[in-house]
Amino acid sequence: MKCVIDRRAQFSASHRYWLPELSEAENRLQFGACANYPGHGHNYVLHVSMLGELDEYGMVLNLSDVKHTIREEVTGPLDFSFLNDTWPEFQQTLPTTENMARVIWQKLAPHLPIVNIRLYEHPELWADYKGNTMEATLTVSTHFSAAHRLARPDLSFEENNEIYGKCARPHGHGHNYHLEVTVTGQIDPRTGMLIDLGKLNEAIAQHVIEPMDHSFLNKDVSYFEKVVPTAENIAFYICQVLETPVRNLGARLHKVNLRESPNNACEVYASGNLDNLSRQNREPALAAV
């Protein structure tokens, strides 16, 4: 029986986004505050996912060996380091989150049966890398608060109440929505970026947060005048409005994850990515260790 196990590790390191072939003005235009000297730091959290067969002892791998390998190859060299000078790979391509995930894969792949590297720069930004040359995904997390009422305008109150229960009450109710936007693309071989993160955040703010935060969705967002603002429909709408802005930034929208409450969440894949969901459903479940 095959199983995917996940090993968590962490390290603290600093870095600077700076290309010597650019002027100071050009570096600051491209990287903003990340170009400041002497750099800035993060507490990184690393998840290494590995696939294998269960052995007679009920294990995929000896976790003591896995821990030692990750420490020897990754966290030992990187912990309390200045990343730009630590590995030669980061002198060729800047140590962005997505490029770090790629290089960590390269360091561990000869030793462990990796299927995914996930690296958190902080809780609201992380990258995934699956060994696809220079392709990676980057996820940003944000939130907004909004009210809604679940009711179809063509149905009576009694009919809506039968379908949506308390959510059909006339004056609606509210949620603190947690939103994750995942984009995919090619890592630039010099900057280490698959997308301009600042511009991505601006696009999310412009198209999603500003119009939806502290709104009554049924009345304040025209799309929901005729579409019931369930969590599923909200996620689908966000997917629709972000696809073009993300494409204009040189990447592809991969998926949107919307959490309405601790007990209710949904995930919508962008156009052309639905096959990924089917593929994932055929893969072994991820078992955290």
Q: What is the reported pTM? A: 0.91
Average pLDDT over residues 177-197: 97
Which entry of 167, 232, 243, 266 is annotated as an active-site residue?
167
Model confidence at 176, in pLDDT bands (50, 70, 90)? very high
66 contacts 7 by C-beta, under 8 angstroms: yes
Per-residue pLDDT tens for 198-249?
Answer: 999 999 999 999 999 999 999 999 999 999 999 999 999 999 999 999 999 9
d(CA 224, CA 205): 19
Average pLDDT over residues 181-194: 97
Which entry of 40, 68, 122, 214 is annotated as an active-site residue?
214
User: Which domains, and CATH codes, for the chain?
Assistant: 1-130 (3.30.479.10), 132-283 (3.30.479.10)
Model confidence at 60, in pLDDT bands (50, 70, 90)? confident
**34 is an active site residue:** no
Average pLDDT over residues 125-137: 97
ω before 38 within 30° of 0 (cis)?
yes
* 165 conformational bin, left if phi > 0, alpha if psi -120 to 50, beta if neither: left
Which entry of 73, 98, 121, 260 is annotated as an active-site residue?
260
**214 is an active site residue:** yes
Structure confidence at residue 289 (pLDDT): 35
Structure confidence at residue 272 (pLDDT): 62
Per-residue pLDDT tens for 95-125?
Answer: 999 999 999 999 999 999 999 999 999 999 9
C-alpha pair distances (Å), 246 with each of 42, 68, 182, 184, 200: 26, 39, 10, 10, 7
**167 is an active site residue:** yes
